[in-house]
Amino acid sequence: MDYMKPEQVVEQMVQAGENKANLSVKDMLIRGFLGGAILAFATTLAFTATSQTNIGLAGALVFPVGFVIIILLGLELVTGSFALIPLAVLRRRTTVSRMLRQFAWVILGHLIGSIAYAALFYAAVTNFGHASNAIVQTIIKTAETKTNGYAALGTDGLLAVFIKAILCNWMVTLGAVMAMTSQSTAGKIIAMWLPILTFFAQGFEHAVVNMFVIPAGMLYGANVSFSGWWLWNQIPVLLGNFVGGVLFTGMMLYFTHSKSKSSAKETAVQPEQIAFDGKVLKHN
């Protein structure tokens, strides 16, 4: 009985996009900081699981814990917003300028949170540089692969990272949307776990994960320049994540499941039902 129909989910997507666009700068920074740091926690957990088992899929199985925490606590993940806020713009519930403002402040929060965790993680696992750690070496190698590896391929590298980013956020935004298909906590967790596992297991490119891995690798000694980070990874990945989220999740679900305004009111969830970002739904 806790299953939400696709038409109701689309209405939640629009409302969630409007709510996110209307957040204060303080809330965007705090929630973005926590979202970046928690996803960084999940990344080092995944690397640890892979290192301990020598099975890559083990890391993918545990990585979604970070996404679950972010969604259930109503924190911000800009890659999820890529599928939601454009729908609110389409419905004229917010503006393009407010959408871009939200993206910018949340990305800044992600960067601060990710780098803060990177510094704390290094101090914790190396005893302030007095001990070696396999995960630190994994992060260094991953940072170099995600930048110098693509740079070595030139234009083909840029195209490859862009397409990997599209495929990644197609799944990540599906995770955010799948959480809306259930009203129970357990149902939300199970539903969102599936697409997140799918993207991580295949090595696709996620902008917020990379906001931790690459600067962390640079802090730990990776041979990566600031320009190399942004040119060969962060910018094309952000663009690819946006395309994957807005096109393959946001717009496609909207155009196949969105009903007319009057019909949407009939199928909309009641005000007491809670959207995945913790906001009470209100329908115009």
Express each pLDDT in 42-60 by its tens digit.
Answer: 999 999 999 999 999 999 9
Q: At what angle do helices 6-21 and 78-90 cross, to 10 degrees?
A: 100
Name the pLDDT band for 281 (thresholds 50, 70, 90): very low
Distance separating alpha carbons of residues 269 and 144, to the nearest angstrom: 47
- Whether pLDDT at 179 is above 90: yes
Q: Which residues, including other chains, have CB under 8 Å from residue 199's CB and lie 6 or more apart?
A: 167, 168, 169, 170, 171, 172, 206
Residue with tokens 């007095």: 130
In tens, the pLDDT along 64-120 reads: 999 999 999 999 999 999 999 999 999 999 999 999 999 999 999 999 999 999 999
User: Mean pLDDT across the chain, nearest whole number?
Assistant: 92
* pLDDT for the residue numbered 2: 86
In tens, the pLDDT along 225-252 reads: 999 999 999 999 999 999 999 999 999 9
Distance separating alpha carbons of residues 111 and 215, to the nearest angstrom: 9
Mean pLDDT value across residues 135-145 = 97
Distance separating alpha carbons of residues 282 and 268, to the nearest angstrom: 10
* pLDDT for the residue numbered 1: 61
Distances (CA, A) of 17 to 75, 229, 258: 13, 29, 15
| DSSP designation for 278 | S
Distance separating alpha carbons of residues 70 and 30, to the nearest angstrom: 12
* pLDDT for the residue numbered 278: 42
* pLDDT for the residue numbered 211: 98
Distances (CA, A) of 112 to 33, 36, 108, 208: 6, 8, 6, 11
- Whether pLDDT at 260 is above 60: no
Q: Which of 226, 79, 213, 58 shows the shortest CA–CA distance to 146? A: 213
- Whether pLDDT at 254 is above 70: yes
* pLDDT for the residue numbered 201: 96
- Sign of the Cα pseudo-torsion (73, 77, 80, 86, in order): positive
Name the pLDDT band for 206 (thresholds 50, 70, 90): very high
Name the pLDDT band for 259 (thresholds 50, 70, 90): confident
Residues in the chain: 284
Tokens of 273: 């039902």
Mean pLDDT value across residues 135-150 = 98
